[in-house]
């Protein structure tokens, strides 16, 4: 019998898929799959470090996709939830998926499957919210810049939307929590890692990095927003349900409220 | 940009436009062309939400609130003493583009008071849209309000640039219209609607033959009616809505509870409540007509001219038609399933799927996620414990209301406590 092993990978999705490949290929009895920057709790099993290999990752990706097209989206979205232990959950799910007959969908009364689809749905919801709640501010070097602080790692998911929509302006969306951004330079989108020492909340304090007129437009929008509601119909609870408070500090229309 | 001046105009002209309830930016999928600015997502995106909980997805403004007409229900009416303002064409273009680039909005909803003449006004609305498309290479969403009485030529041009066109009927009955909008004639609305409808049909046919034919108002047209200003019945409203859906291929009819703003002997007093619950019931009815296969006279007729306040229209229909029930979930067709209170179209779909494999019992239905607390009085399934066989309508209603925690019920009880 195989000894159980904990696989350590670099935290990337390709790294995770590589780990899955190796586990399948070498028939490893997987105890856990962990990111290399996590404080590890691997007392009772041996560890193996996985080196990301795009070819191997691709084979797993294609394998899953051929089985079930929806599953691949679910897996990717759930992975981006960064939830503790999600890797092992996904690994179990992929095992189950591979064991089913081609074309037959997986059973949603199954706990693992259910959890994956819940996670995936939460991430999907936040993807949509970020497409809505990104607020660009124009910098002096003509880049439309936005901070976001999503619960999940959704930047990779929203890149295409913004690429399609804002094709004629340079933009940068920066994830404050994960300290990286996606940058569009009028040609293509790339991932940039940068450490901003000043985070631009939408506070009333103004920053010099932004273009002349930027704050005027923010004020106009803020004002416009105020004039949209009809007093006799106010419903704050519904409002907060739609625009969760944790997003407010980056919304120019919510300046006073923060 | 003269910031202070623009700010003042925006305040005035956004404020005047907010009573138009149509806000959807959906139904159009305009792609980004030549690396220009923007696209329109088929489902639309709400970028924010007003404090009353409605979606903010478009910059919704009037071009001007000067108006030569004097419609009683309108803040912009000639005889109302309010500050007046007018945007220049370029100012609207700049605002739209700058808001869009910052990801505040999906596009523009432009309406206007009537200054000088309907055509003069419409021409300017069209000019804004044309500038956005041709000069700014803007592919976001544009909704133009057609000005009642505008000419066919202008309506034609409008549809080439806009995603959606609308003209608000506002008052659902002819007699009400005469009373409240003495300057307008019914045909002022219907003529442009007909023009738009015909152009949409013509362009669609041409596109079938010549692929490069541009789209004409791809998101169709919509209209709005004010509810509760003229003492019309729900039947009047929904029959009128049905007529507009049918004759003019409306994509949406919106119902807007009258918000009293001016004291006028022809209108409800300034202190009267916005009829939110009634508005809600009308939307539910609209939904049943569009997606659930109900005919309007089943829900509203001479013996039942108004919707119930305490129960939703589907439940109300079921209670008045108990002879159709109980239905056997494992037998009846889709059309009938859709009529069971508590079954949404999604549940109906799932039931139809699931019953191919097995006969369904309570547990299956519960798993599928149907609202059994309502449905259980109206169905039988593959279980024998069905206890509610000979209940009367009043009793069922009582039981459902007792166990219901829906927002409608809360609203309803709020309203009641107001009258006590
Ligand atoms: S024509 Fe339009 S803007 Fe003018 S008063 Fe009537 S409803 Fe208001």
- B9/chain A closest Cα distance in angstroms: 10
Burial of A59 (0-12, 13-18, 19+ CB in 10 A): middle
Q: Is the pLDDT of residue A102 over 70?
A: no
- Ligand 1 pocket test, candidate residues B66, B69, B125, B170, most atoms within 8 A of CB: B69
Among B37, B48, B274, beta carbon nearest to A232: B274
Q: Is the pLDDT of residue B81 over 70?
A: yes
Rounded distance between C-alpha atoms, residue A257 and residue A225, angstroms: 13
Residue B25, token pair as written in the block? 């930016």
Candidate ranges B159-163, B195-199, B365-369; pick with highest mean pLDDT: B159-163
Residue B158 Cα to ligand 1 middle (Å): 20
Burial of A107 (0-12, 13-18, 19+ CB in 10 A): exposed
Rounded distance between C-alpha atoms, residue B255 and residue B90, angstroms: 32
Among A167, A224, A234, beta carbon nearest to B32: A167
- Comparing alpha-carbon positions, the chain A residue that sits nearest to B256 is A233
Any chain B CB within 8 A of the CB of A208? Answer: no
Among A109, A131, A228, beta carbon nearest to B18: A228
Residues with CB under 6 Å of ligand 1 are: B 67, 69-71, 74, 76-77, 113-114
Burial of B200 (0-12, 13-18, 19+ CB in 10 A): buried
ipTM: 0.87
The dihedrals phi and psi of B12, each to the nearest 5 degrees, come to -70, -45
Lowest-pLDDT range of A88-97, A198-207, B64-73, B178-187? A198-207
**pLDDT tens column, A115-164:** 888 899 999 999 999 998 899 999 999 999 998 999 999 999 999 999 99
Beta bridge partners, B107, equal B58, B141
Judge: A219–B7 Cβ closer than 8 Å, yes or no. Answer: yes
Rounded distance between C-alpha atoms, residue B86 and residue B246, angstroms: 36
Q: Which of residues 226-245 of A touch B (CB under 8 A)?
A: 227-230, 232-236, 238-239, 241-243
Q: What residues of chain A lie within 8 A of the CB of B36, using their CB?
A: 167-168
Collapse the DSSP code of B260 into the 3-class scheme (helix H, G, I; strand E, B; otherwise coil) and give the result: coil
**pLDDT tens column, A202-215:** 555 677 888 888 98
Judge: B276–A233 Cβ closer than 8 Å, yes or no. Answer: yes
- A78/chain B closest Cα distance in angstroms: 23
């Amino acid at each position: 019998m195989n000894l159980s092993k904990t696989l350590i990978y670099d935290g990337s999705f390709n790294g995770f898929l590589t780990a899955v490949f190796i586990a399948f290929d070498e028939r490893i009895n997987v105890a856990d799959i962990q990111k290399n920057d996590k404080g590890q709790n691997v007392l009772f099993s041996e560890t193996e470090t996985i080196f990301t290999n795009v070819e191997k990752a691709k084979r797993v990706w294609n394998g899953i996709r051929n089985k079930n097209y929806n599953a691949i989206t679910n897996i990717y979205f759930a992975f981006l939830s960064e939830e503790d232990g999600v890797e092992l959950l996904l690994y179990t799910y992929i095992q189950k998926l591979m064991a089913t007959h081609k074309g037959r969908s997986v059973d949603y009364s199954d706990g693992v499957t259910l959890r994956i689809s819940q996670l995936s749905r939460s991430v999907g919801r936040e993807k949509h919210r970020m497409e809505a709640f990104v607020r660009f501010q124009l910098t002096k070097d003509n880049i439309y810049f936005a901070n976001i602080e999503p619960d999940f790692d959704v930047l990779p998911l929203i890149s295409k939307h913004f690429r399609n929509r804002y094709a004629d302006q340079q933009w940068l969306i920066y994830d404050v929590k994960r300290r990286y951004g996606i940058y569009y330079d009028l040609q293509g989108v790339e991932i940039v890692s940068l450490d901003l020492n000043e985070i631009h909340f939408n506070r009333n304090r103004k920053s010099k990095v932004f273009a002349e007129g930027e704050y005027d437009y923010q004020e106009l929008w803020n004002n416009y927003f105020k004039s949209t509601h009809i007093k006799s119909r106010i419903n704050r609870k519904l409002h907060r349900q739609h625009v969760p408070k944790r997003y407010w500090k980056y919304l120019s229309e919510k300046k006073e409220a923060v | 940009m003269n910031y202070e001046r623009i700010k003042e105009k925006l305040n005035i002209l956004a404020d005047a436009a907010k009573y138009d309830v149509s806000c959807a930016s959906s139904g159009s999928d305009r792609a980004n062309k030549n690396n220009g600015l923007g696209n329109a997502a088929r489902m639309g995106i709400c970028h924010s939400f007003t404090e009353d909980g409605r979606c903010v997805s478009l910059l919704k403004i009037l071009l001007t609130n000067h108006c030569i007409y004097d419609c009683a229900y309108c803040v912009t009416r000639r005889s109302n003493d309010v500050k007046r303002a007018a945007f220049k064409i370029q100012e609207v273009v700049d605002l739209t583009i700058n808001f869009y680039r910052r990801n505040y909005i999906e596009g523009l909803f432009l309406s206007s008071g009537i200054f000088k003449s309907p055509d003069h006004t419409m021409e300017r609305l069209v000019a804004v849209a044309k500038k956005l498309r041709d000069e700014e290479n803007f592919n976001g969403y544009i909704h133009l309000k057609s000005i009642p009485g505008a000419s066919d030529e202008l309506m034609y041009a409008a549809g080439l640039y806009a995603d959606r066109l609308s003209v608000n009927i506002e008052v659902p009955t002819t007699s009400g219209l005469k009373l409240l909008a003495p300057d307008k004639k019914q045909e002022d609305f219907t003529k442009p609607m007909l023009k738009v409808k015909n152009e949409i049909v013509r362009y669609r046919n041409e596109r079938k033959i010549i692929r490069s034919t541009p789209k004409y108002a791809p998101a169709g047209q919509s209209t709005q009616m004010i509810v509760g200003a003229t003492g019309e019945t729900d039947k009047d409203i929904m029959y009128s809505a049905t007529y507009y859906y049918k004759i003019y291929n409306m994509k949406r009819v919106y119902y807007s509870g009258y918000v009293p703003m001016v004291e006028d002997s022809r209108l409800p007093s300034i202190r009267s409540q916005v009829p939110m619950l009634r508005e809600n019931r009308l939307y539910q009815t609209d939904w049943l007509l569009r997606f659930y296969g109900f005919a309007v006279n089943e829900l509203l007729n001479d013996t039942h001219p108004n919707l119930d306040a305490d129960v939703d229209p589907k439940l109300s229909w079921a209670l008045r038609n108990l002879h159709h029930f109980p239905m056997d979930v494992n037998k009846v067709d889709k059309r009938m399933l859709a009529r069971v209170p508590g079954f949404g179209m999604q549940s109906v779909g799932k039931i139809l799927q699931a019953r191919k494999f097995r006969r369904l019992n309570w547990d299956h239905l519960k798993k599928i996620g149907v609202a059994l607390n309502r449905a259980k009085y109206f169905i039988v399934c593959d279980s024998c414990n069905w206890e509610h066989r000979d209940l009367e309508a009043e009793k069922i209603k009582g039981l459902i209301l007792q166990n219901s925690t829906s927002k409608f019920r809360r609203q309803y009880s709020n309203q009641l406590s107001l009258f006590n």
